[in-house]
C-alpha cells in the first residue's frame, strides 16, 4: 500500500503544480478559476488518499473521507463565488458568459 500511496501523492503534487501554472498562463478570470478549482480538488483528493494509504490507520480513513467530502463540497461553491466576483469586477463581459 505504501507504493500506491506514494504514487497518489506524486500524482496529486503534479496536478497541483500544473494547475498553478495554469493560473499564470490563462488570460481571463473564468479560465483561471477553472484551473484553480477543478484540478485543485483532484490534486488535494489524490494527496489525502495517498497519505491515508501510506499510514493505513483506521482513524485516518475517517479523517481522510471527511477532508475529501469537505473539498468536494466547497470547491464548486468557491468556483461559483469567484466567477460572480469576476463578473461584478467587470473582468469579463456578459457576452463572454453567453458564449460558454
Q: Could you report the per-residue pLDDT of 8-41, keeping only the tens digit for each? A: 999 999 999 998 888 888 887 788 888 888 888 8
Q: Work out how many domains the chain is built from and give that number.
A: 1
DSSP letter, residue 27? -
Q: Could you list the beta-strand ranges (E) of 30-91.
A: none
DSSP letter, residue 89? T
What pLDDT band is residue 100 in, cutting at 50, 70 and 90? low
Distance from C-alpha of 85 to C-alpha of 89, rounded to nearest angstrom: 6
Give this prediction's pTM. Answer: 0.77
Asked if 39 contacts 16 with a C-beta cutoff of 8 angstroms, the reply is: yes
Domain that holds residue 44: 2-99
Q: What DSSP string runs through 11-29? A: HHHHHHHHHHHHHHH--SH
Amino acid at each position: 500500500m505504501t507504493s500506491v500511496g506514494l504514487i497518489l501523492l506524486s500524482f496529486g503534487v503534479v496536478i497541483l503544480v500544473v494547475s498553478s501554472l495554469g493560473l499564470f498562463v490563462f488570460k481571463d478570470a473564468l479560465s483561471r478559476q477553472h484551473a484553480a478549482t477543478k484540478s485543485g480538488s483532484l490534486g488535494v483528493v489524490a494527496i489525502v488518499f495517498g497519505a491515508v494509504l501510506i499510514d493505513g490507520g483506521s482513524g485516518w480513513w475517517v479523517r481522510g473521507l471527511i477532508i475529501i467530502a469537505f473539498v468536494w463540497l466547497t470547491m464548486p461553491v468557491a468556483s461559483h463565488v469567484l466567477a460572480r466576483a469576476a463578473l461584478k469586477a467587470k473582468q469579463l463581459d456578459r457576452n463572454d458568459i453567453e458564449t460558454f
